[in-house]
Amino acid sequence: MVFNSLAFAIFLPIVLLGYYLLPFKGQNRFLLVASLFFYAWWDWRFLGLLGLTIVVDYYASHAIKRAATQRLKLRWLRISLISNLSVLGLFKYSNFFISSLEAVLTRIGFHVHPITLQLALPIGISFYTFMSMAYVIDVYWGKFEPVDNFFDFALFVSYFPHLVAGPILRAHQLLPQLTKPRSISKEQIRDGIALILLGLIRKVLIADLIASYVDEAFRDVTAMTSMDLLLRMWLFTIQIYGDFAGYSDMARGISKLFGIELHLNFATPFLSQNITELWRRWHISLSSWLRDYVYIPLGGSRKGQWRTYFNNFITMIVSGLWHGANWTFVGFGAVNGIGLAIHKAWLKVTKRTVPKGYGTPKWGIWSPFKILMTINLYSFSLLLFRTPNFATFGAYVTRMFSFVPGLHQGASLFVVPFILLSFTLDVLQYTGFGQEVVGRMNLATRSLAFGILFALVLIAGSDNSLPFIYFQF
């Protein structure tokens, strides 16, 4: 079930009611059962894979803690990594590697007829395997003590708000909240409902409404003018942001209703003034995961300038492959890896730095130009994210830069208002102004405002409910 479905609208109140009526020890067990039911709704057969990840990593983490030697610790870490990566590789990447090998052999004169595996991709597998692996790695590094209670760990991995599309939570972010009693404040309920509503607006009133306009461009590139394709490139950027940031907002809002706080996953990425800053603000949980478990172990920036560029490039290639088993996703990662390397080289030459984290950036006279350049670079890379193959990507880019005159009416009318709506929602959310306005409303006014907005979402989404883009990862 998806967050913007009738099934979930029935499921969530039932779970909340049961949760509120139970004492703390019963709450976690009830949430675990609800989470497994939520996952089984997609396909109950994949519960076995989720259970395998939970069992292997729970016992591997405790074996690492008990191990008397470093060699034994490393052995159990390898068992966890091999188990997780094997499942991920089999279900997500097996056909990709088989077809890639076939293409290479064909090019050098060998004609083969490989057998591909007809395996469905388990929903959320990239998210929960990365999350569980990080837990075991943190235990191995001594950053986190393994949780004693098996069912608490099972809930950590399978907790339904983040299970199928993130954010990719770390042990220190979620487990302490699961292992101690929780209290739920009126402010959490208020903010949780507001975040759910905000996420629905991003998803239903932005992402879903412009999806058909984006799809037009990829159905027949030759029917589009250059400006049509440029506008739809921007529209897809808005679509994927509204879709994924909307899901993250809903996940955070739903968790607040349980007294659980999930970390921010997007922080006004389209106000970024360079590609480095954008990746610190976009899909923060994945970016920080790749930094801590790929970039830094490769050497980070500690082994010289050229090695830093190489490490950035490899990290972004991994990011691309995480998103999908297709060479276009590798291309998506490569474009961003090259962009990060060029930006780091520029920082080296100009002796400048990018502030850590995603706080308020410094603004200057050139800031609007920098933002525009950054958005266009990232939007261009997202074409590789969207196109099924390099041939389609090449046709799209060639026609976009061929200056074919003309403009279809529909797309031009959509770009400006949707850009403005996206930025307005960001400003309201991240400046705290929206929360402040909601907080000043009395209960009756707030209920009326929320009710009207929910009604608009229901009307807009009644005939146009689309699956979340990141469910395919």
Q: pLDDT (tens digit, 9 = 90+) per residue, 234-287?
A: 989 999 998 899 899 999 999 999 999 998 899 888 888 899 999 989 999 999
Q: How far is CA 104 from CA 317, 324, 454, in A?
A: 20, 20, 52
Among 14-23, 132-141, 293-302, 452-461, the range scoring the smallest mean pLDDT is: 452-461
Please compute the mean of the pLDDT values over residues 337-362 and round it to a whole number: 80
For the cut 60, the answer to whether the pLDDT of residue 369 exceeds it is: yes
* pLDDT exceeds 90 at position 326: no
Per-residue model confidence (pLDDT) at position 464: 59
Task: Among 87-101, 370-384, 395-409, name the most confident range.
Answer: 370-384
Give the tokens for residue 387.
């196109």
Q: Tens digits of per-residue pLDDT, 155-174?
A: 999 999 998 887 899 999 99
Least confident stretch, 209-213, 256-260, 396-400: 209-213
Q: Evaluate if residue 101 carries a pLDDT over 90.
A: no
19 pLDDT more than 60: yes
- Torsion angle in degrees (nearest 10) through CA of 205, 263, 49, 70: 160
For the chain, which residues make up each domain, given as ranges?
6-182, 187-472
Length of the chain, please?
473
Query: d(Cα 415, Cα 231) in Å, to the nearest integer?
Result: 7
Beta-carbon count within 10 A of 322 CB: 21
pLDDT at 397: 92
426 confidence band (pLDDT: 50, 70, 90): confident
Q: Is the distance from CB of 202 to CB of 455 less than 8 angstroms?
A: no
Tell me the pLDDT band of 314, cut-offs 50, 70 and 90.
Answer: very high
Q: What is the DSSP string of 139-165?
A: HHTTSSPPPS-HHHHHHHHH-HHHHTT
Calpha distance 359→280 (Å, rounded): 10
**DSSP-assigned states of every residue in 219-253:** H-GGGS-HHHHHHHHHHHHHHHHHHHHHHHHHHHH
From the candidates 162, 283, 323, 343, give the one annotated as an active-site residue.
Answer: 323
Which residue has 């590094």 as its token pair?
Answer: 141
Question: Does residue 257 or residue 211 have the better pLDDT?
Answer: 257
- pLDDT band (50, 70, 90) for residue 410: low
Q: Which two tokens stand for residue 56?
A: 């292997």
Comparing 87-91, 188-192, 386-390, 437-441, the range with the smallest average pLDDT is 437-441
The encoded tokens of residue 237 equal 């950027």
- The residue among 233, 229, 231 whose CA lies nearest residue 399 is 229
CA geometry: angle 452, 458, 463, nearest 5 deg: 150
Residues 6+ positions from 439 with CB-CB distance below 8 Å: 187, 190
Instruction: Give the pLDDT of residue 15.
Output: 95
DSSP character for 261? P
343 assigned to active site: no
pLDDT in tens, 432-450: 656 666 666 666 666 666 6
Position with higher pLDDT, 35 vs 423: 35
247, 473 in Cβ contact below 8 A? no
Summarised one tens digit per residue, pLDDT across range 28-50 is 999 999 999 999 988 888 899 99
How high is the pLDDT of residue 204? 84
Average pLDDT over residues 6-15: 89
